[in-house]
Amino acid sequence: MTYRDTQKVLVTGGAGFLGSHLCDRLVDAGADVLCLDNLYTGTKKNVAHLHDRTNFEFVRHDVTMPLYVEIDRIFNLACPASPIHYQYDPVQTTKTSVHGAINMLGLAKRLRARILQASTSEVYGDPEVHPQKEEYWGRVNPIGIRSCYDEGKRCAETLFFDYRRQHNLEIKVVRIFNTYGPRMNPHDGRVVSNFIVQALKGEDITIYGDGSQTRSFCYVDDLIEAMLRMMDTRADFTGPVNIGNPGEFTMLELAEKILSLVGSTSKIVYQPLPQDDPRQRQPDISLAKSELDWQPKVSLEDGLKETISYFKRLLQA
């Protein structure tokens, strides 16, 4: 993947966990990158190493407000993605997904720019189908504590496809399953960062429920590669496409693997399962394999080693 120096690419949520890794790849590929973030969950530290690059620019801006720039492509990643962050201000979370999508789609329409939406496996809710295919409509509680994120992302997908039908906009939609790696926020409440930080500090490992619920974990480098490939697909291919690692692990298996890799003496403790927490989550990535020629390469153990090293450095700083 290479970009001309004149090709301008906007990344909303660019100072976040995923956005900063995407900015890295785009800058290295030669794109002129405009990184947009209101720093609600993102941090300037995630992109500080890019500030000396002539083809990188950071702008502090909230996507719920209109934006007037000249760009060729848009990656729309802006939205808090962990339950702790998106439930802290649920109204703002919904606004970010819905108003943010409207503003970015309006910008793309004016400029005839191609735009990619970073959607989520949360659109499937607590699924009755396993693994989840893109054709599955989902089972989401519209009035629960997770609804601000789940329904916000579902509405954003609706807007993307309506802009496609009504304005013939070039859209791309990916549904991101659990992703982990360096630059995760240590306090975001996600299971991988929670377990690693607790293990490194020698604290109890907190498992919600009985630990039998499953997730699939995709390393960040694999995910970013899939997003870039999706953006470069033919104009008539819109998605949505599941992006994730189909390897399925229980929470107990994950905790035990992290304890082993860290060499921690932390004990596992159990807490009640949060409301509407999905019991199973696993992507069917057949479409990504056929259309993107993509499948994850990084094993859970190798990815966890990199992530543990990152958190060790962070906690020692």
User: What pLDDT shows up at residue 211?
Assistant: 86
Q: Collapse the DSSP code of 75 into the 3-class scheme (helix H, G, I; strand E, B; otherwise coil) and give the result.
A: strand
**pLDDT, tens digit (0-9, with 9 covering 90-100), for 274-312:** 665 667 778 999 999 999 999 999 999 999 999 999 999
The kind and range of the H/E element at 115 are: strand 114-120
User: What pLDDT shows up at residue 105?
Assistant: 98
Q: How many residues does the chain have?
A: 317
Which single residue is written with the structure tokens 């995760």?
184
Q: Which candidate, 25, 70, 77, 80, places its Cα nearest to that of 47?
A: 25
- Residue 116 and residue 173 in contact, taking contact as beta carbons nearer than 8 Å: yes
Residues 6+ apart with CB under 8 A from 12: 19, 36, 37, 63, 74, 75, 76, 77, 78, 100, 104
Catalytic residue (one of 3, 86, 124, 149): 149
Instruction: Give, as one character, the DSSP assignment of residue 48.
Output: G
Q: What percent of the chain has pLDDT over 90?
A: 78
**CA neighbours closer than 13 Å in the CB half-sphere of residue 10:** 28
Residues 6+ apart with CB under 8 A from 236: none
Q: What is the mean pLDDT of residues 242-250?
A: 93
Is 310 marked active-site? no
Give how far Cα 207 sits from Cα of 10, 151, 173, 193, 248, Å. 38, 26, 32, 13, 17
Q: Which residues pair with 125 in a beta bridge?
A: 139
- Residue 219 and residue 210 in contact, taking contact as beta carbons nearer than 8 Å: no
**pLDDT, tens digit (0-9, with 9 covering 90-100), for 12-60:** 999 999 999 999 999 999 999 999 999 999 999 999 999 999 999 999 9
Domains contained in the chain, CATH given: 8-180+219-245+282-297 (3.40.50.720)
User: What pLDDT shows up at residue 24?
Assistant: 98
Q: Measure the CA–CA gap between 143 and 41, rounded to whole angstroms.
A: 24
**pLDDT, tens digit (0-9, with 9 covering 90-100), for 109-130:** 999 999 999 999 999 998 888 8
Lowest-confidence region among 57-61, 133-137, 248-252: 248-252
Lowest-confidence region among 144-148, 198-202, 289-293: 144-148
Q: Which candidate, 273, 282, 191, places its Cα nearest to that of 243?
A: 282
User: What pLDDT shows up at residue 268?
Assistant: 92
Q: Measure the CA–CA gap between 184 and 62, rounded to whole angstroms.
A: 21
Q: Measure the CA–CA gap between 70 and 56, rounded to whole angstroms.
A: 15
When the pLDDT of each residue in the chain is averaged and rounded to a whole number, the result is: 93
